[in-house]
Amino acid sequence: MKKQILVLCITTLMSGVSLAQGNGFYLGGNVGQTDFDECADGFSCDEKDTGWKLYGGYQLNQNIGIEAGYYNFGETTGKNRFGKYSVEAEGLGVALTGTLPLNNQFSLTSKIGAMRWDADGHYRGRFTSASDDETGTDLFYGVGAKFALAPNMDIVAEWERIDDVSDVDHVDFISAGVQLKF
C-alpha cells in the first residue's frame, strides 16, 4: 500500500510538471503543538508537546507542488507508581501539495506524502530501565490555509497527521509559521 501511494505521488508529480510553468521555490518554518495518541494502560500521561518543522518546496503551478521537510514532534511522557516513560519523535517527510486559491491573498492547502520517522523510547522503573529506538516510514497528510502578507511572504496555519509512529496510533501537529517564496 505504501509503495502504491509513493508511485501515485511520483506519477502525479511528473504529470504536474507539464501542466503549467512553475511558480517557484519556497522555504518555511512552523511551530505548534503535537498530540501523541499514546498512553500506556495504567499510566497518567502528558500526550502534548511543542513541535516544529523546517521545510522547502517547489510550486509546480498554481495548484500543485512538492514539499520536503524535517519535523521535530517533541515527546510524550507517562508515569505510574512503578516508573515513568518518554517517547521522542522526529521525521523527514516528502509530500505532494495542493493549493486552492480563494482570492489574491488567501488559499486553502492540502498535502499527502510519506514520512521516515525515528522514535526514541525510554523507561525507568524502581528496579529496571530500558531504551528502544525505532524507525519506520508511514503515510502523512494534512490541510491548512495561507495568507499572503507580501508577494514573497505567506503566513501559514496547518493541521498534519502522521500514522503509526512506533507504538503510537498517530501524531497530530497543529502549527503556524512563515513561508518565504523565491
Question: pLDDT tens digits, residue range 105-159?
Answer: 999 999 999 999 998 888 788 888 888 888 889 999 999 999 999 999 999 999 9
The half-sphere exposure of 145 on its side-chain side, counting CA atoms within 13 A, is 6
Helix (H) or strand (E) holding 133: strand 129-150
Q: Bridge partners of 126?
A: none
3-class state of residue 38 by DSSP: coil
pLDDT for position 168: 64
Q: Which of 51, 20, 41, 179 is closest to 107 using CA atoms?
A: 179
Q: Bridge partners of 140?
A: 113, 162
Q: Bridge partners of 146?
A: 107, 156
pLDDT for position 79: 82
Alpha-carbon span 163 to 156, nearest angstrom: 22
Grade residue 12 by pLDDT with cuts at 50, 70 and 90.
very low
Asked if residues 94 and 114 have their Cβ atoms less than 8 Å apart, the reply is yes
Who wins on pLDDT, 79 or 106?
A: 106
Alpha-carbon span 118 to 137, nearest angstrom: 9
pLDDT for position 19: 38
Question: Please, what is the average pLDDT of the chain?
Answer: 84
3-class state of residue 61 by DSSP: coil
pLDDT for position 20: 38
Q: Bridge partners of 110?
A: 98, 143
**Residue range 80-101: mean pLDDT, rounded:** 90
pLDDT for position 8: 43
pLDDT at 101 over 70: yes
pLDDT at 22 over 60: no
Asked if residues 31 and 177 have their Cβ atoms less than 8 Å apart, the reply is yes
Nine-digit cell string for 96:
505532494
Alpha-carbon span 144 to 154, nearest angstrom: 12
pLDDT at 6 over 50: no
pLDDT at 5 over 60: no
The half-sphere exposure of 112 on its side-chain side, counting CA atoms within 13 A, is 11
pTM summary value:
0.79
